[in-house]
Chains A and B, each alone.
Chain A
Amino acid sequence: MKNALGIEIPEYIEGLGELKPFQGVWESIIGDEIPSTNIVRTLKAKKAHTSKLCSNLKEAIKKCKPFDGMTVTFHHHLRGGDGVLMQTIEILDEMGIKDITLASSSLTSAHDGLVPYVENGMITRIFSSGIRGRLGEIISMGKLKHPAIIHSHGGRVRDILTGRIKPDLSVLAASAADEEGNATGAHGPSAFGSMGYADIDARYSKNVIIVTDNLVDYPCVPGSIRQHFVDYVVKVDSIGDATKIASGTTRITKSPMDLRIARIAATVIEHSGLFKDGMSFQVGAGGASLAVAKFLREDMKRKDIKGSFMIGGVTSYGVDMLNEGLFQAIFDVQSFDAAVSTSVLNNPQHIEITCDQYANPNNCGAMTNKLDVVVLGALEVDVDFNVNVITGSSGEIRGASGGHSDTASGANLSVIVCPSFRGRLPIVKDRVHTIVTPGESVDVIVTERGVCVNPSRPNLAAALKKAGVKVVDIKDLKKEVDAMTGIPAEKQLGDKIVALVEYRDGTIIDVIRNVENLS
């Protein structure tokens, strides 16, 4: 069957069940298709004044009675420094557990160690918002038994609430926790900030283990994860590589190209009609995307604009803007650098939120639905404004869906910033290799060679032209870039589906096919 974007989606996949095709950004959400939930909170029992503390992770995992075919879940707040996910998988492997479904909120460069466990069939299914590095390559080559499912951040919460993902064991790292399992990422030697992605796992997993390198006196405050959801607590020497978990501040790019794109994007925002008191704003942490915050900050000061709130994906740069009074509050589902932790801990206007509140399409108060402006990156865009953030130029899985489609769907103005070509590869295509965010939810694409406005927003195009912004037809931009770079030869892909891209409402928006011989 074909989905609304004309992509052939299989009706059924062995090991994953029936699939629904993408019908449009809001079709299933505002229609009569509110999914029924078949998940129940696991009832647990604990005698008064007994201890949850285990001497090591293996002991705690044994107490959870792991079994073949189970689903193990994690959060990715430890970023590239995570040591907990790999430790857990190694312990489960030692215990001889097989046929594991791995459902981490994302997978990073710290998880290349999963490769042998995928290749030998210990891990047979993967749900994640991102897959990178060597792991992305071997999945692209078809080494995972069942196709990987790439979901959005909001989509993951929905997947757990609908029972698509059924967590049997959740091993959740914290930079501080107490003996009952109250846990946070806001302080401690490995502080990483918000624990927003872990909340849903803690609430609905059959077994919850908190792992920390910093066991504090009871009670641990703030309780990002609360004790009544936690089965066991483990104190370990290290939850990973502290230099990669808790290092420094994020700096604004110095790349002239990124800065130019960011300057244009800030001008687009200024003339969008949304640049006024009470504006809400989200920006990514990547090069041009974060740099937009720098110019917006200057523009807001110049015009004396006071915004309402920022969400994200919070960097120390956003914290600076909060402290300067440019915004009233930050809603923080994930902190991108260590300097943010102190603010989460001490500033009541810096509010830690769950991923459910951030982006779940099936609740009635997701922050993304209250967003005015979001600035997002892209690996590729196409003439229909679809965006790819998951597959690279050889067709390999090497990115993350993250909150891209969540925020794009909710924001009044979704701005994509990207160069028109990277290292001779044109970024504007007739059709992106993989659609993660549908063009229907994208308003503007900003490149160094001009700004493309979605034809569905003629008033915006007119306003930008009037303000002197160079607005170009996306098809003309594509021709101009192709003339400079030449038309790239496209790699032939195989027939095997190696991953499914799930839209935030649970429908399938695209499939990823296998690539042979990635070197």
Chain B
Amino acid sequence: MTPKFKAQAGTFESSDIMVLIEPVSEETGRQIDISSTVMLQFEEDIKNTINQVLDDLDIQNVHLIAKDKGALTPTIKARVEAAVKRSLGIQEGTM
């Protein structure tokens, strides 16, 4: 599936992650930009978690921006899923 709209999920609160999705044209692939308060300790882990959710939802072309404040893995998964579904127009939400 391909995101149609800009969408976001999450907050800038501690232990949460803000996920922004921007639609891109077909064949551009995934561009994932991560910034995190625990970059040093969990960069790979956060990247893998995001990629796993995108795999599960079959999203190949997307620009995803994640601003993390130390969210646990279930939080990251939920925020990414919510943002993606909003960008697909299959869940109501902001933007």
Contacts and interface: CB of A to CB of B under 8 A. Distances in A.
Interface in B62-95: 69-73
A394 B36 CA distance: 13
Given A423-B14, A423-B15, A424-B15, A485 B72 contact: yes
B40 A424 contact: no
Nearest to A490: B41
8 contacts: A393-B40, A393-B41, A423-B69, A423-B70, A424-B71, A425-B38, A425-B41, A489-B41
B41 A488 contact: yes
B71 A489 contact: no
A448 to B, nearest CB: 13
A488 B72 contact: no
Contacts of A393: 38, 40-41
Contacts of A422: 70
B37 interface: yes
Nearest to A426: B41
A342 B44 CA distance: 54
Given A393-B38, A394-B40, A489-B43, 7 more contacts: A393-B41, A423-B37, A424-B41, A424-B42, A425-B70, A488-B42, A491-B40
A488 B38 CA distance: 9
A489 B40 contact: yes
B33 interface: no
Given A423-B14, A424-B15, A486 B40 contact: no
Contacts of A30: none
Contacts of A424: 15, 38, 41-42, 70-72
A484 interface: yes
Nearest to A486: B45
Interface in A419-439: 422-425
B55 to A, nearest CB: 19
Nearest to B74: A484
A424 B15 CA distance: 7
Contacts of B71: 424
Interface residues of A, number: 13
A485 B69 CA distance: 13
Contacts of A486: 42, 45, 73
B16 to A, nearest CB: 10
Most B C-beta atoms less than 10 A away, residue of A424, A489, A491: A424
Contacts of B41: 393, 424-425, 488-491
Nearest to B76: A424
Most A C-beta atoms less than 10 A away, residue of B15, B40, B41, B45: B41
A488 B15 CA distance: 15
A213 B70 CA distance: 45
Nearest to B17: A424
Interface string B7-18: 000000011000
Nearest to A491: B40
A394 B40 CA distance: 8
Nearest to B69: A423
B72 to A, nearest CB: 6
Interface string B23-55: 000000000000001101111110000000000
Contacts of A488: 38, 41-42
A380 to B, nearest CB: 13
Nearest to A393: B41
A394 B37 CA distance: 11
B32 to A, nearest CB: 18
Contacts of B73: 486
A488 B42 CA distance: 6
A423 B68 CA distance: 10
A423 B70 CA distance: 4
Nearest to B14: A423
A489 B44 contact: yes
Contacts of A425: 38, 41, 70
A490 to B, nearest CB: 8
Contacts of B69: 423
B15 to A, nearest CB: 6
A394 B41 CA distance: 9
Interface in A382-413: 393-394
Q: Which 5 A-B pairs rank lowest in CB-CB distance, beginning with the nearest?
A: A423-B70, A488-B41, A424-B70, A424-B38, A486-B45
Nearest to B68: A424
B72 A484 contact: yes
A489 B42 contact: yes
Nearest to B45: A486
Interface in A433-490: 484-486, 488-490
Nearest to A395: B40
Nearest to A488: B41
A486 B15 CA distance: 14
Contacts of B14: 423
A422 B40 CA distance: 15
A425 B45 CA distance: 13
A471 B86 CA distance: 44
Interface in A109-126: none
A484 B43 CA distance: 16
Interface in A237-257: none
A488 B40 CA distance: 8
A290 B37 CA distance: 27
A423 B15 CA distance: 5
Nearest to B38: A424
A485 B15 CA distance: 11
